[in-house]
Amino acid sequence: MVAAVLVSTYHCIACDVVQRVTVAKEKHDLIIKNSSNGLVSYSDIHYCYDGILGINNLQIDKNMAVRSFSLIEFPSMKKMRQPKTGIPVPMAPKPVKNIYHVDGIDSSKSMKLVIKDQGLNTELYIGDFSSEDEPIVQLKSKLGSVSLEFYQCDIKSTFAMKQWFQVLIDTVEKIPPTKLGLLIEALRFVRENGKTRPGMFEIDQLYALLTTHKIKIKSISIHTVSNLRGKYGDVFADKVWLIFKFLAKNKKREVILQELMEVVDKDLRFITFAAFILENEGMISLIRPEMDD
């Protein structure tokens, strides 16, 4: 028996596109019944104005009308870490903490976790939480500024998955501020690869997913594109041609990796994978942002 779904639409003011939202009728009716204001909060995740995932939190009533929505984004600047000088200095008032709620990273298996980033002064809650929930995994980054709590959900807690989560928060701690949409992409990548331990190639790709908006790409050579067909297939080679056509068209300016999503493929995981392959083949160079020590 197919579960009944409810459909609504709203006009995203960020990308100026009418977005379609579907929710399970049984779930919607249950939450509405227990809602104090007659509204249910849902997160709509779609490719938005800058080519990467955008997240709108919607307030929907019992008739599936979107009553309000807001685009949620991470701060663009990190707080500077204060050196331990031992000299007392006046302390500025603490800024208000940014708290974000996303009900899921997509419609696939649920992932339930909390990521707290002191540098961005943010807390990100992913999944549906209750007051009785207790984390089954608690991790801290190497320098202690980013933490992750993982809760019982459809995703099993394994040693390999814990390693992935550790790599994720260690990377988030060191890189320039990432975007919320890129973090969602990274979490999807972790979920899909979490059955095996992360290798260096996968760790590099995770880093690239989180910094796609900062990585610059330059063409070096296109003479060996035909050789890629034998190694990686026609589909890969055809998309590589699109990459080089775009780079040639924009050779007088800096091109950011995230721009390729608009002209080559919406799948950021493919874009980062292809970029690494082309870099290893000596066909492009990737200029990565510096990481904090």
| CB proximity list for 186: less than 8 A, separation 6 or greater | 168, 178, 206, 209, 210
Of residues 292 and 255, more confidence is placed in 255
Angle at 53 between CA 48 and CA 54, to 5 degrees: 60
Q: Look at residues 29, 22, 68 and name the one whose alpha carbon lies nearest to residue 44.
A: 22
Residue 80's pLDDT band (cuts 50, 70, 90): low
pLDDT tens digits for 193-223? 999 999 999 999 999 999 999 999 998 876 6
pLDDT tens digits for 136-187? 999 999 999 999 999 999 888 999 999 999 999 999 999 999 999 999 999 9
Mean pLDDT, range 95-104, rounded to an integer:
86
In the chain, pLDDT over 90 holds for what percent of residues?
66
Q: What is the pLDDT of residue 91?
A: 47
pLDDT tens digits for 6-60? 889 999 999 999 999 988 888 899 889 888 899 999 999 999 988 899 999 999 9
- The two three-digit tokens of residue 254, written as one number: 């800096």
pTM of the model: 0.86
CB-CB contact of 137 with 198 (8 Å): no
